């Protein structure tokens, strides 16, 4: 890995498994780690703020970004479009900033094609029943939409074997600690830390 470049971490999970909350929380706790805010055509939910939660754009504006290859990855999820800025990613990683993203399996696959060294994490719920409870509790979907998300979750979770790490989000704090541990371990890998000062000493260049 080229020294000085930031690391990329991608977290995938079925809807309602807690990936967005965990990614934002971890980014707020670890230094030199930023959460990638997606562009979306989805309307804001109650309490969501443009530029903080998502960049909310119209369908035509989103398609214009697609045509100009402005997204490093993009996907359609439940009828809405989501995408990650190519320029923003390149700027952060190029300046040595680590980036964490929450993406569906399709988006994660596209991102890893551009950033093959990205560490991939799949977040699983403890059970389908608990996932249903979490979807109902957040009160953002109709009962029909909840069942649709559960059906999709069963399909999406088949992809967990494609990821480097798997975390079961049975308890929020534990899952957060496990994600942080993965990030810290990747940061400590030889090839990412700048040890030129030590190489000079070992090479006799005192």
Is residue 197 situated within a structural domain?
A: no
d(CA 95, CA 142): 43
Is residue 26 situated within a structural domain?
A: yes
d(CA 9, CA 183): 8
**Which structural domain, as residue segments, surrounds residue 84?**
8-187
d(CA 151, CA 155): 7
Domain with 165 in it: what CATH number?
3.40.50.300
The domain tally of the chain equals 1
Residue in this structure with the two tokens 């890998």, named with its chain if needed: 189
Is residue 157 situated within a structural domain?
A: yes
Is residue 2 situated within a structural domain?
A: no
Query: Any residues with CB less than 8 A from the CB of 56 and at least 6 apart, and which?
Result: 40, 41, 42, 43, 44, 50
**What tens-digit pLDDT sequence spans the chain (206 residues)?**
444 799 999 999 988 888 999 999 999 999 999 999 999 999 998 889 999 999 999 999 999 999 999 999 999 988 899 999 999 999 999 999 999 999 999 899 999 999 999 999 999 999 999 999 888 888 777 888 888 889 888 888 999 999 999 999 999 999 999 999 999 999 998 766 777 777 788 876 65
This prediction has a pTM of 0.85
d(CA 206, CA 203): 8
Is residue 3 situated within a structural domain?
A: no
Q: Which residues of 68-84 are buried (b: 16+ CB within 10 A; e: fewer)?
A: eebbbbbbeeeeebbbb
């Amino acid at each position: 890995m080229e020294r000085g470049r930031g690391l990329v971490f991608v977290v995938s999970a079925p809807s309602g498994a807690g990936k967005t909350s965990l990614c934002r929380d971890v980014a707020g706790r670890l230094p030199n780690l930023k959460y990638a805010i997606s562009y979306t055509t989805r309307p804001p939910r109650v309490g969501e703020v443009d530029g903080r939660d998502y960049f909310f754009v119209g369908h035509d504006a989103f398609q214009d970004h697609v045509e100009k290859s402005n997204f490093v990855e993009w996907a359609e999820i439940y009828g809405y479009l989501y995408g990650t800025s190519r320029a923003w990613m390149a700027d952060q990683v190029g300046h040595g900033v680590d980036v964490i993203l929450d993406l569906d399996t399709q988006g994660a696959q596209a991102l890893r094609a551009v950033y093959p060294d990205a560490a991939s994490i799949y977040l699983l719920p403890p059970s389908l029943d608990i996932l249903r409870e979490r979807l109902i509790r957040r009160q953002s979907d109709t009962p029909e939409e909840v069942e649709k998300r559960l059906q999709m979750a069963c399909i999406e979770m088949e992809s967990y074997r494609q990821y480097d790490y798997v975390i079961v989000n049975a308890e929020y704090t534990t899952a957060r600690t496990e994600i942080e541990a993965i990030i810290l371990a990747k940061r400590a890998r030889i090839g990412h830390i700048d040890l030129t000062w030590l190489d000079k000493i070992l090479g006799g260049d005192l």
